Chain A
């Protein structure tokens, strides 16, 4: 395993991606969901900066949860108002994904990493991978509805990871 690869596909990002699988049935859904996740992540981490060095460490996760829940609520309202198509398709999974992606990636990542950099790297990785899976499932799903079933997301991700690992390992040896 190259160190470069480990940096991109760290556990927290992978955990976040698995949570977001529900939103990968097509590119449009994937793109809007991952952008929403990015907004939630970044704004939450921005506000977390206010508390990071002041509040007791044991309480930081509580603040993080409150802020994430707050941002999730706001984003869900925005979705309902301006993106009714996606609300029709995903329904309650929108707030579930929006809430659990930041929380799970936070729990899996290094302790107390509430920095903007962390939010940005997680979001960019999340957008890229989720959109890739979205494109693949969107194209293949037209001819084969089995690709649109939930388990297919894991298979597509597995293949994608294998390909990317291959590419990065090759680069290293070159």
Chain B
């Protein structure tokens, strides 16, 4: 088969021109695209986390750039602020664990939800199970939580998972990040 070198070269040239042009357009639109929110906000089941509240409103707050806090939402029942949903990222054993923490006005954790994680199947991923996340219910949000081995009823202790210490600790770290933010930036500011 005869190969048409001239037109092959033109075709390659066209591809290069098109690529450069696409790059140029991307460069000019990049900033506008970055401002748009592409549904990356995970849906949160608010009835599970904060049963008293019925709607969420994103709070416009200054989050430090290097902070693990992703977003803060106010949980409202009508116009009344019932608590906050704070989303944090925390480094687990193998993946970034994204957690939503619900804290009531009274400074109590009313629930947490693991939004995304990619920990070891069968071990670390048990952090996303209700059995583990429910252990955070009714814990205090006034002081940081500690992970303990045994079942505990202390307000500032959470029972860990055997075989998944790093993942469980990561969740506690994420929750503590939220607690710290709650105590320094949110409490009293109702």
Residues of A in contact with B (beta carbons under 8 Å apart): 55-56, 59, 62-63, 66-67, 69-70, 73-74, 77-78, 80-82, 84, 87-88
Interface of B is mostly: helix
Contact indicator B22/A74 (Cβ below 8 Å): yes
Contact indicator A63/B14 (Cβ below 8 Å): yes
Interface residue tally for chain B (C-beta within 8 Å):
19
Contact indicator A59/B7 (Cβ below 8 Å): yes
Chain A residues with CB under 8 A of B10? 55
Contact indicator B25/A84 (Cβ below 8 Å): no
Interface residue from B7, B15, B33, B38 paired with A77 (Cβ < 8 Å):
B33
Interface of A is mostly: helix
Contact indicator B26/A77 (Cβ below 8 Å): yes
Interface residue from A67, A69, A77 paired with B25 (Cβ < 8 Å):
A77
Q: How far is the CB of B29 from chain A (nearest CB, A)?
A: 4
Contact indicator B4/A80 (Cβ below 8 Å): no
Contact indicator B4/A56 (Cβ below 8 Å): yes
How many residue pairs, one in A and one in B, have C-beta atoms under 8 Å apart? 47
B11 at interface, CB cutoff 8 A:
yes
Chain A residues with CB under 8 A of B8? 59
Chain A residues with CB under 8 A of B26? 77
Chain A residues with CB under 8 A of B122? none
Contact indicator A73/B22 (Cβ below 8 Å): yes
Query: What are 9 A-B pairs with beta-carbon distances under 8 A?
Result: A55-B10, A59-B11, A63-B11, A67-B18, A70-B22, A74-B21, A74-B25, A81-B29, A87-B36
Chain B residues with CB under 8 A of A73? 22
Chain B residues with CB under 8 A of A81? 29, 32-33, 36
